[in-house]
Amino acid sequence: MKVAGGLGLLVALALAGPALAAEDAPWRFDVYNELMSPYCPGRSLNDCPSGQAEELREWIGAQEDAGRPRAEVVDQLYRLYGDGMRSAPRVQGWGLAAYLIPVVGTLVVGGVIALFLRRQTAAPVEAAPAAPEPLDPELERLLDEELRGGRP
Going residue by residue through the chain, which has 152 residues, state the pLDDT in tens, using 9 for 90 and above.
455 554 555 555 566 555 444 556 799 999 999 999 999 998 999 999 999 999 999 999 999 999 999 999 999 999 999 888 887 777 777 777 777 888 899 999 999 999 998 888 876 767 777 777 887 889 888 888 888 886 65
Residue 125 is which amino acid? V
pTM over 0.75: no
Q: Can you give the residue ranges of every domain in the chain?
A: 2-87, 91-120
Q: Return d(Cα 84, Cα 121) in angstroms, integer.
A: 49
Residue 66 is which amino acid? A
Fold of 2-87: Helicase, Ruva Protein; domain 3 (1.10.8)
Q: Return d(Cα 47, Cα 50) in angstroms, integer.
A: 9
